[in-house]
Structure 1
Amino acid sequence: MLTQVRLPDRHASRSAKPGPPREPPKPATPTAPSWRPWLLPLAALVVILILVARAQPSRSTTFPYSAFVGKVEAGVVKTVDINDKGAVAGTLKDGTRFTTRIPTALDTSPLEQQLRDKKVEITASQSSGGDGLTTLLVLLLPLLFIVMLFWWSGRKAAQTLTGGLGGIGRSRAKIIEAERPTTRFDDVAGYEGVKQEISEIVDFLRRPERYAVVGAKGPRGVIMVGPPGTGKTLIARAVAGEAEVPFLSVTGSAFVEMFVGVGASRVRDLFGEARKRAPSIVFIDEIDAVGSRRAGNRLGGNDEREQTLNQLLAEMDGFDQGSGIVVLAATNRPEALDPALLRPGRFDRHVTVPLPNQAERTAILAVHARGKTLAPDVDWGIVARSTPGFSGADLANLVNEAAINAVRADRAVIDADDLATARDRVLLGRRESSNALLPEERRAVAVHESGHALVAALCEHADPVAKVTILPSGPALGATEQLPEAERHLYTEGYLTDLLAVRLGGRAAELVVFGEGSTGAADDLAGATQIADRMVTEFGLSQALGPVGYASGTPRYLGQDNGKEAVGRSYSEHTQRIVDEETARLVTEAEKRAVALLREHRRALEALAGLLVTRETVDGSVVLDVLENGASAQGVSPRRARAHQ
């Protein structure tokens, strides 16, 4: 069997009636020039450059003491300046400046006489701390610059935080005013029961006096529960569009932050904004992100998520009933919500938004086909019949994939083949043209899929076969597609037993033709085992275990798994042993039944496999023709002759 992929929902919108004129915009507050924040760092940089330039010594030549004495004896020294620490600075007669140092351990008394004899101008000076201070300033200026940089950054951060603390605690709700384009109920195809139940909210917001006359109170909160992609957010927008009131939309994850108390502050701000714009609608999407069950083993309320939930509970229980504020929420995990959030007085109504039925799928497909050119052979009723279990988002993706397929074929018109190809792509994946099979593998896949198709045609309660193909798509090397004659809501034991036989028809065909199984039946075995396990543990269809059900009791909106692995089983090891034995028995009996049917119609199996090898794809009528011809040749009446529409 094929699994289905859940895709995001698509929202349609149209222009609403013009609302009241907007207020003129307030004059902008004058702001400081953009260069002013950089003034302080630039000034510090200029000071550093000046001091560093002053600290650089003047260009001069440093002589050793012996060279200096030689210059004096040669008579080329013009002036010298000797300080009290023995440092000498002077100039030569050619104007060259030089420096040297007189060794304190040597007797330098003859030096003075030599200087006098050579008529050198001698001056004396006292050393000061100027050079040391300059050096100290040069060493400290980088540190001073870093300190000033941190001070400036701190001021900027404080200014940002001042506005940010007001912004951190503010709600991130997206406010959609009444005069903006909104969605109406006409844009939501199908779901008439859901729209009828939720339309009372629109009537309450439009005419609250009708309820006040008889003492009735409008719903305080409505929570919409359903699988992903069914259009819960779209319905909430339609409510706002019909009521023509401000619509404050926010997601549950927007309340949770790393700062303690921020979530609760945002909840308060959200309801404060709603009160200012009353009557209004507050819509919280994915409310399970903030409204999850509170832990029972924690003594304090230090968890940020719990504080946010507590504030949400207080706000929903505290605002005035007549203020005209209605809270809408949506989730696909109702079992994870806190019971205090679901009680009457907070969320008075629980509206289930299920997967659309066949008639609703037809209407949804027509909505998504607006603006597209369709061929005359497109029948939305047939497409809806071939897409059981598709959500509104899946149908939108199906139509879009069909349009992309038409563009790929250089056509501007979408035909029925485009929709069929898009359906195969959504269910099975992209067609792998490069995944070439070996000749023996090609025949093995043909035999496998022929087994599925023939067992489905021979079983009384199985759904009719629509198409059989051996073209690889995604991870599947072939596929047998069945279309239900009518949309089922209840499944009998006979239908489930036939379903097991159809699942194991491919493996049974391999056993009949080749005498051994292969890895190609891995997914079939896993699916059959899961169905048999649910027949035993949930549906009470095992004589050994009796009419006992061990279902998890939680909606499986996020997937088709049972969920028992997550919460653990609720029965003993002895019962688990019986469950395992009964599951194996049901699967084994289904395989034996499929093998017996295919052996009885071996000629039809070989004929259908040969057609698949030649044609690669056949429809359900070919399967029935092959079965009829094979049964007539053997002189055996088929167990079932079903006309394929």
Structure 2
Amino acid sequence: MTRSAAATRHFTARAKSGPPPDSPPPKPEPRPAPWWQHVLLPLVVLGIGGLVVWIVAAGGPPASTSLSYSDLVANVTAGKVASVTIGGDGSVTGTYKTGGAFTSQLPTALGTGQFGQLLQARHVRVEATAGGGSTWITILSFLPFMVIIGLMWWAARAAGRTMTAGGGLGAGTFGRSKAKLIDAQRPRTRFADVAGYDGVKQEVSEIVDFLRQPERYAAAGARGPRGVIMVGPPGTGKTLLARAVAGQAEVPFFSVTGSAFVEMFVGVGASRVRDLFEEARKRAPAIIFIDEIDAIGSRRSVQPTGGHEEREQTLNQLLAEMDGFDERSGIVVLAATNRPETLDAALLRPGRFDRQVTVPLPNQAERAAILAVHVKGKHLAPEIELGTIARATPGFSGADLANLVNEGAINAVRDGRTTITAADLDAARDRVLLGRRETSNALLPEERRAVAVHESGHALLATLCEHADPVAKVTILPAGVALGVTEQLPEAERHLYSEGYLHDLLAVRLGGRAAELVVFGEGSTGAASDLAGATQIAIRMVREFGLSAALGPVGYSDGDGAAAELGDVGVSPVRWAYSEQTQQKIDLEVSRLLRSAEERAVQLLRDHRTALDRLAERLIEAETVDGDAVLAALADPVPAGEKSLV
């Protein structure tokens, strides 16, 4: 499996200072309330509730006995009952002539006529009520609700005091903004701390100038930028640049992510947007930074429902707030996203986000500058050259380079050293690109031979093809899902790929399979990833680059303005915008390109069969060789009597 350091990154997975002089003095923050005040109120509420329950229990009716209807009739007939009270639900309470009370229940099916006549005949005093239960019982039934309301009121008051005292969020701040405020004393990041990206820093430096000297723009009749959206792949340092702008301008910095506005309750996100801009106006001039703005700024649908309605209300409020900016308010909104194609058009129009700044992947010189920042404070071996590492890491973002240096330091610690060597960084690069080295994944002898032949084919084709990148290292040690790797390092970083380079790239991709066909007479499953990558390149040559004589200069792209880098394998299938006949022509042309590349690779390896066998034998013995070994295999003669590999 071949992996060109240029082609793989491009063809597979990618592509303190005080407050400003005009600002008001900070308001003293009130001291938080003592802890006993937070405990006293719930104790008082619970005490009152318990007291009410005790009063109700103590002031209720006297203890009584329960009688059946038959016993009740018998007692009335015997003249023992002095008075009865009949409730509307048929309940009976009464007292005896000798003292004492009783309760009973009239059977509703029998009626109360005969029982009433019996009571009149025995001269029993009769009373009636509209319903059961006393006033105290009614009051007692509302007690739980009163306790709950009291506790909620106390919680809201406590949360409000906590927020005023600078505490965390509570129940009373559900609609408050979750933006993290970094005052002017805290953002110490400056443009000098951001390596590379001179063009980007020059473009955003006008924001700093506007926040520091707005009168210059007013004198010329110019309006400062209201919003700047930074677009670029993940890990390129968009958030770092936003912090550097705030640090350079020495203004408060509000940082919040787009997902912090979205909640399951409709209207909460819009409330948080209003609160965020209100807080920013109080501390103006200030910078509001919204990371991952595509979480709330995606295109609005025609019929919003559910969570989409909440997101669109949040977006509408953001649009309204940016429209309501006072040009003299000194508030600038910065945003970052890696999906600009999904943003709503109303968000990108002039007057809201006036500028769109692209933060691309760093070039070779910028990667060297970024590496110099990340290796500060670390012990490096004298042989390490940051320029060489930068050349070997095309397509790496700033975050990837930071991870590379960290993995190299971890590898040195694992070996009991404090000095990072070039081998540590080389192993870290393989770890980042391929995965962890599987030392326990021992290959069978025949598998080692097959992998050696496969990687030898890649290495020889990369050396024999005119436009291919030179070979840096070949190994048959398994790492991640790859059983072997052929690494190529470009002599210069390309931005344009010629047709000859693409044809050579196809031949190198299929060199491993071609070596298996030449040596063993059959292919294997080890070429699966090579075939997938080569097929993607051939498809784009035919569909997008117009490099097919059968179709001519016609491009059938997927319509994505931010198309993936050349050879991206992980892109989703596109929707064909052409007829089935055109699709058949595309399939035939792709197949023709791949067959032609394979035939060319097979012929070159047959012409250099001795070099193929010799390089494979060296790989079996040493497991890892450099590019000089490949050149030596092509130049050194085969000793007399030396047998072929197979």
Q: Same fold (TM over 0.5)?
A: yes
Instruction: Kindly state the Cα deviation for residue 4 of structure 1 after the two structures are TM-superposed.
Output: 5.5
Match of 2:601 in 1: 594
Match of 1:79 in 2: none
Contact 1:41-1:149 within 8 A present in 2 as well = no
Match of 1:612 in 2: 619
Pick one of 401, 414, 419 that aligns with 1:395.
401
Shift of the 469–322 alpha-carbon distance from structure 1 to 2, 3 Å rule, reads same
Match of 1:121 in 2: none
Match of 2:195 in 1: 189
**1:584 and 2:588 aligned:** no
Shift of the 458–560 alpha-carbon distance from structure 1 to 2, 3 Å rule, reads closer
Match of 1:34 in 2: 39
Structure 1 distance, partners of 2:411, 2:308, is 54
Structure 1 distance, partners of 2:335, 2:230, is 6
Pick one of 359, 363, 383 that aligns with 1:377.
383
Instruction: Kindly state the Cα deviation for residue 505 of structure 1 after the two structures are TM-superposed.
Output: 0.6
Q: CA-to-partner distance for each residue in 1:78-115, whole Å, 9 max, x for gaps?
A: xxxxx9999xxxxxxxxxxxxxx9xx99xxxxxxxxxx
Shift of the 455–300 alpha-carbon distance from structure 1 to 2, 3 Å rule, reads closer
Shift of the 43–321 alpha-carbon distance from structure 1 to 2, 3 Å rule, reads closer
Instruction: Kindly state the Cα deviation for residue 556 of structure 1 after the two structures are TM-superposed.
Output: 4.5
Structure 2 distance, partners of 1:523, 1:299, is 42
Shift of the 300–155 alpha-carbon distance from structure 1 to 2, 3 Å rule, reads closer
Match of 1:152 in 2: 147
Deviates more, 1:366-375 or 1:164-173: 164-173
Shift of the 18–372 alpha-carbon distance from structure 1 to 2, 3 Å rule, reads farther
Instruction: Kindly state the Cα deviation for residue 315 of structure 1 after the two structures are TM-superposed.
Output: 1.4
Instruction: Kindly state the Cα deviation for residue 453 of structure 1 after the two structures are TM-superposed.
Output: 0.3
Match of 1:290 in 2: 296
Pick one of 574, 583, 597 that aligns with 2:581.
574
Structure 2 distance, partners of 1:616, 1:175, is 54
| TM-score (ref. length: structure 2) | 0.80
Q: What amino acid sits opposite 2:102 in the alignment?
A: G
Structure 2 distance, partners of 1:250, 1:153, is 34
Q: What amino acid sits opposite 1:306 in the alignment?
A: E
Pick one of 24, 31, 43 that aligns with 2:28.
24
Q: CA-to-partner distance for each residue in 1:512-538, whole Å, 9 max, x for gaps?
A: 111111111110010111111111111
Instruction: Kindly state the Cα deviation for residue 269 of structure 1 after the two structures are TM-superposed.
Output: 1.6
Match of 1:128 in 2: 101
Contact 1:601-1:630 within 8 A present in 2 as well = no
Structure 1 distance, partners of 2:155, 2:529, is 57
Shift of the 198–297 alpha-carbon distance from structure 1 to 2, 3 Å rule, reads same
**1:281 and 2:287 aligned:** yes
Match of 2:126 in 1: none
Match of 2:329 in 1: 323
Shift of the 501–145 alpha-carbon distance from structure 1 to 2, 3 Å rule, reads farther
Gaps of 5+ in 2: 76-96, 106-131, 161-169, 641-646
Contact 2:462-2:470 within 8 A present in 1 as well = yes
User: For residues 144-293 of structure 1, what are the structure 2 equivalents within 5 Å?
Assistant: 148-160=143-155, 167-293=173-299
Instruction: Kindly state the Cα deviation for residue 161 of structure 1 after the two structures are TM-superposed.
Output: 5.7
Structure 1 distance, partners of 2:197, 2:38, is 57
Contact 1:556-1:562 within 8 A present in 2 as well = no
**1:488 and 2:494 aligned:** yes
Contact 2:56-2:140 within 8 A present in 1 as well = no
Question: What is the percentage of aligned positions where both structures have the same residue?
Answer: 66
Pick one of 428, 432, 436 that aligns with 1:426.
432
Q: What amino acid sits opposite 1:591 in the alignment?
A: E
Contact 1:468-1:479 within 8 A present in 2 as well = yes
Pick one of 507, 517, 520 that aligns with 1:514.
520
- Root-mean-square deviation (CA, aligned residues, Å) is 3.7
Aligned residues: 567
Instruction: Kindly state the Cα deviation for residue 42 of structure 1 after the two structures are TM-superposed.
Output: 5.6
Shift of the 430–145 alpha-carbon distance from structure 1 to 2, 3 Å rule, reads farther
Other structure's SS at 1:284 match: strand
User: For residues 536-555 of structure 1, what are the structure 2 equivalents within 5 Å?
Assistant: 536-552=542-558, 553-555=560-562
Other structure's SS at 2:491 match: coil
Instruction: Kindly state the Cα deviation for residue 442 of structure 1 after the two structures are TM-superposed.
Output: 0.7
Contact 2:20-2:251 within 8 A present in 1 as well = no
Structure 1 distance, partners of 2:67, 2:362, is 101
Shift of the 243–402 alpha-carbon distance from structure 1 to 2, 3 Å rule, reads same
Structure 1 distance, partners of 2:299, 2:569, is 21
Match of 2:372 in 1: 366
Shift of the 84–465 alpha-carbon distance from structure 1 to 2, 3 Å rule, reads closer
User: For residues 343-358 of structure 1, what are the structure 2 equivalents within 5 Å?
Assistant: 343-358=349-364
Contact 1:292-1:337 within 8 A present in 2 as well = yes
Q: What amino acid sits opposite 2:547 in the alignment?
A: L
Shift of the 595–211 alpha-carbon distance from structure 1 to 2, 3 Å rule, reads same
Q: CA-to-partner distance for each residue in 1:114-134, whole Å, 9 max, x for gaps?
A: xxxxxxxxxx944313999xx
Contact 2:536-2:567 within 8 A present in 1 as well = no
Instruction: Kindly state the Cα deviation for residue 27 of structure 1 after the two structures are TM-superposed.
Output: 3.5
Instruction: Kindly state the Cα deviation for residue 318 of structure 1 after the two structures are TM-superposed.
Output: 1.9
Q: What amino acid sits opposite 1:448 in the alignment?
A: H
Q: What amino acid sits opposite 2:29 in the alignment?
A: P
Q: What amino acid sits opposite 2:311 in the alignment?
A: R
Other structure's SS at 2:379 match: coil
Instruction: Kindly state the Cα deviation for residue 222 of structure 1 after the two structures are TM-superposed.
Output: 0.8
Structure 2 distance, partners of 1:255, 1:593, is 57
Other structure's SS at 1:32 match: helix
Gaps of 5+ in 1: 8-14, 59-82, 87-100, 106-123, 634-645
Other structure's SS at 2:420 match: coil
Match of 1:534 in 2: 540
Pick one of 456, 476, 492 that aligns with 1:470.
476
Shift of the 397–536 alpha-carbon distance from structure 1 to 2, 3 Å rule, reads same
Instruction: Kindly state the Cα deviation for residue 182 of structure 1 after the two structures are TM-superposed.
Output: 2.0
Match of 1:62 in 2: none
Instruction: Kindly state the Cα deviation for residue 511 of structure 1 after the two structures are TM-superposed.
Output: 0.7
Instruction: Kindly state the Cα deviation for residue 19 of structure 1 after the two structures are TM-superposed.
Output: 6.6
Contact 1:228-1:558 within 8 A present in 2 as well = no
Shift of the 49–298 alpha-carbon distance from structure 1 to 2, 3 Å rule, reads closer
Deviates more, 1:598-607 or 1:386-395: 598-607
Q: What amino acid sits opposite 1:153 in the alignment?
A: I
Contact 2:292-2:336 within 8 A present in 1 as well = yes
Contact 2:187-2:246 within 8 A present in 1 as well = no
Shift of the 580–158 alpha-carbon distance from structure 1 to 2, 3 Å rule, reads farther
User: For residues 101-112 of structure 1, what are the structure 2 equivalents within 5 Å?
Assistant: none
Structure 2 distance, partners of 1:279, 1:525, is 56
Match of 1:116 in 2: none
Structure 2 distance, partners of 1:299, 1:48, is 48
Deviates more, 1:304-313 or 1:509-518: 304-313
Match of 2:463 in 1: 457
Shift of the 265–557 alpha-carbon distance from structure 1 to 2, 3 Å rule, reads farther
Deviates more, 1:616-625 or 1:577-586: 577-586
Other structure's SS at 1:436 match: coil
Other structure's SS at 1:315 match: helix
Other structure's SS at 1:481 match: strand
Instruction: Kindly state the Cα deviation for residue 298 of structure 1 after the two structures are TM-superposed.
Output: 5.6
Contact 2:361-2:395 within 8 A present in 1 as well = yes
Q: Choose between structure 1 and 2 for higher RCO, CA contacts under 8 A separated by at least 6 residues.
A: 2
Question: Between Structure 1 and Structure 2, whose CA radius of gyration is higher?
Answer: 1
Match of 1:75 in 2: none
| TM-score (ref. length: structure 1) | 0.80
